[in-house]
Amino acid sequence: MSFYFVIIGTKDNPLFEVEFGTSKGSSGDGIARFHAAQRHKNQFIVHSALDLVEEVQWASGAMYLRHVDRHQSSYVSAFVTGANTKFMLLCNPDTHSVVRGGGSGAAAARVQAAALSSYNPTAPAVEESVKNFFLEVYDAWVKTIMSPFYSLNMPVRSPVFRARVMAAARKYL
């Protein structure tokens, strides 16, 4: 499973972005496996979900907005801070796995369909792990923006912040 995480500022500008893969299960090496074409679409998919995030944000009043959008086999979850900064996580359960040992194209398609059907973004365990990921990143985010050298809507380039996001991803996703 591949993930694309982005932090969107109050002016809808990206402040931080990172791609990673799952660290859970047998194929959990932490490497994102997006196709080249999919990698270019990630920003557009997340940006197109911003309207839905703003709708849900004002309707619910909660910080964790859960699963807010779907595009083909990708799912978008969101978290909104008190300062209206948005954390968005694009999850693509399509691991692009191939059947080893000379399997046919139909067999590979069945394996891929099984992987897609087994992922449910509204399952309690999935929602809990995504929420915990967002909360841990939020904790790191608050510590980062409290720096006197940080200005509102300034991109975050801190290697410490990136390491904390990756550690949260390994821990929960």
Reported as type and span, the H/E element at residue 127 is helix 124-145
User: Residue 71 sits in a domain of what CATH number?
Assistant: 3.30.450.70
Output the DSSP codes for 39-70: HHHHHHHHHHTHHHHHHHHHHH--SEEEEEEE
CB 93 within 8 A of CB 117: no
Strands (E), 9-147: 14-21, 64-71, 74-80, 86-92
pTM: 0.80
Q: What percentage of the chain carries pLDDT values higher than 90? A: 38
Give the pLDDT confidence score for residue 98 in this predicted structure: 38
pLDDT at 100 over 50: no
- pLDDT band for position 101 (50/70/90)? very low
CB 27 within 8 A of CB 2: no
Nearest to residue 78, comparing CAs of 37, 118, 30, 121?
Answer: 121
Query: Which sign does the torsion angle of CA 40, 42, 45, 50 carry?
Result: negative
Give the pLDDT confidence score for residue 105 in this predicted structure: 55
Within 13 Å of residue 28, how many CA atoms lie on the same side as its CB?
10
Domain that residue 65 falls in: 2-172
pLDDT at 20 over 70: yes
Identify the bridge partners of residue 4 per DSSP, sorted by sequence position.
19, 90
Give the pLDDT confidence score for residue 99 in this predicted structure: 37
Domain count, the chain: 1
d(CA 85, CA 99): 41
Average pLDDT, integer, range 17-43 = 72
For 24, phi then psi, to 5°, come to -100, 155
